[in-house]
Amino acid sequence: MSKETKYVAKIADESGFIHYSDEEHDVWRQLYARQEVNLPGRACKEYIYGIEALNLPKDRIPQLSEIDSVLMETTGWKTEPVPALISFGRFFELLASKRFPVATFIRSKEDFDYLQEPDIFHEIFGHCPLLTNPSFANFSHVYGQLGLAATKQERVFLARLYWFTVEFGLMQGKGEELNIYGGGILSSPGETLYAMDNIPERKEFDLVTVMRTPYRIDIMQPIYYVIENISFLDEVVKMDIMAAVKKAQELGLFAPKFEPKAKAS
């Protein structure tokens, strides 16, 4: 989260309004239209409910106040405008206080298909709909509290838990279809189709196993962890997560299922 970025977050005016250009609104419109068609039958029902509750505009970037009014009413959360990249400490601090960080810039058309930094489309379209769900919202809150109190070394293992749930989580109840709840998938057309294909490996969620699994941010995920339903996140919260961190530290990481990232020359 400390790496450099070419993007600069938008600052709200005195009334709290963030001004975006017509070109920026058009990027949102294109991103929304491209991904909207992929959601039916793939996104979990809790996400669909959330996106309907937020009533996201399809032709413009929403104001954070529009999102906040719904989140506050449903789960007591609100968004927090942040720069393009923030520290782990700030990230955990915000989640611990039920504030979801939203970088207030949107990607350029040059980065339309892939962006390393989370932009406002990823944060609002990918994550905010599920923050209307009590189980998901509570998991995010407890996760923030744990991360805030964790050491730097422990946070690395906690990051894997977040990655394989909030960002790239799948769910499948007994006798039910596979669905997506991870915002990193839901905001990416390519990953949405790939995750639901028969190519990647899928495993039943196990807390210690998840924390021992390496990942790369710039590739399609070779492995996904599957929970039964969104309420399972309530069960995860009841687990001794920090004891699982220590266990994962003792056992060490699994061999990665991907090639190492090539170093820049």
- The Cβ of residue 45 has, within 10 Å, a number of other Cβ atoms equal to 12
Q: Which of 80, 117, 154, 167 is catalytic?
A: 167
- Is 140 an annotated catalytic residue? no
Q: Which of 127, 135, 154, 191 is catalytic?
A: 127
**DSSP tally for the chain: helices H, then strands E:** 12, 6
Which one, of 53, 81, 45, 58, lies nearest residue 69 by Cα?
53
The verdict on whether residue 167 carries a ligand-binding annotation is yes
The verdict on whether residue 141 carries a ligand-binding annotation is no
- Is 21 an annotated catalytic residue? no
Q: Which two tokens stand for residue 178?
A: 């596979």
Q: Which two tokens stand for residue 34?
A: 């491209």
Q: Which of 46, 80, 117, 122 is catalytic?
A: 122
- Nearest-angstrom CA–CA distance, 74 and 132: 5
56 touches 50 (CB < 8 A): no
- Nearest-angstrom CA–CA distance, 62 and 66: 7
Q: Which of 24, 141, 154, 187 is catalytic?
A: 187
The verdict on whether residue 19 carries a ligand-binding annotation is no
- Is 187 an annotated catalytic residue? yes
- Nearest-angstrom CA–CA distance, 141 and 245: 18
Cα 184 → chain centroid: 5
Q: Which residues contact 167 (CB under 8 A, 6 or more apart)?
A: 182, 183, 184, 185
- Is 25 an annotated catalytic residue? no
Active site residues: 122, 127, 167, 187
Task: List residues forming the annotated binding site for Fe cation.
Answer: 122, 127, 167
Task: List residues forming the annotated binding site.
Answer: 122, 127, 167
